Structure 1
Amino acid sequence: MHTMKRKQVLKTLLAGLVVSPVRAAAPATDFQQEFQKAWKRSRDYTLTIFNQMPEEHLNFKPTPEMFSFRMQFVHSMIYTTAQLASRLNVKDPYETAQGWNQRSKADVAAELGRFYDWVQQTVATQTPAQLSKMQEFVGEELTGPQLFYALENHIIHHRGQGIVYLRLKGITPEGYFGW
């Protein structure tokens, strides 16, 4: 049986107290760096898919109850910012935005870029404490990083719908960019 001297025990405990906060902060920073890279890829692919649809088909819907191609992307922006704003106590840039069906393709594409910038900035400004706070989402408790990825998954779903709409219009979508 190995016994530690009192001095060794105190050093070990003190080291744990000093290192623990640093270790607790590291996952948030790692997440923020990882997410920024993944988010840029998501942005690039989303804009590529959106820009493939000719402007005259932005309001195309396969069936009456479905979102139009345009609204697949608008819904992604509005839903994501509303979810983040309500949970992270930040201003929702689309809280009062209207008239999406009258906006040009170039305007919606520019807005998609601003949306991605807003989320990127929102992630970057979160503290480790904010990111570690549990958030209720669709009946589950998620950490900040899990919430951001759940919302990105929602965007992926709607982008996938957009890909189907392109195919229905005879347009071959650009291949997936990957991570």
Structure 2
Amino acid sequence: MAILPSRPGINITVKCNGASLQEYEDEDEDDQPNVVTKYVEAISGAEFGVQWEIAAPWPAYTVLFDIYIDQKWVTGRFCKQVHFKPPKFIHLEEGALSVVNGQEFLHKFAFAALDVDDAVPMQDKLMKDIKGMGEITVKAYYVKNLQTSPTVTDRALNTKLQEVGKIPEKALKGQTLSHSTS
């Protein structure tokens, strides 16, 4: 579980097939006061979700969780204080929602294996594309004055998680990257 020492009541895990994925420490990561980095082992083609638990000490405010996949924002969720009840509040986010013609669609998160090939030439654009690939980032914010707004009738999923195709093995040297997400 990713737990910030400064926020012990908020825990984040990546779930796959109903179980929390094994987390590994990042030995090379510099300690940052408000950042926790963990590695998980991805399973090709498997759907996953991001789960958060909020427990005592309860936050004094509503919490907004924003989820980024491959460094692109995909969804956000407000967790209001009224839901913070012992022993803990648990929420599993399994994908990004879109609304088209009043109908909701859930685009589930899934792991996708990288296609690595030595014969493919290395390109600068490709290096930029794979920079944040395989990252699942959750950012949490305290919200002091949450108010409702008019309902959005159509909200297409505007985040296009891109496929980069074949990746030269040289582009991955020194990285612990084996999967992207979709």
> Which of the two has greater strand per residue?
2
TM-score, normalized by length of structure 2? Answer: 0.23
> Which of the two has greater helix per residue?
1
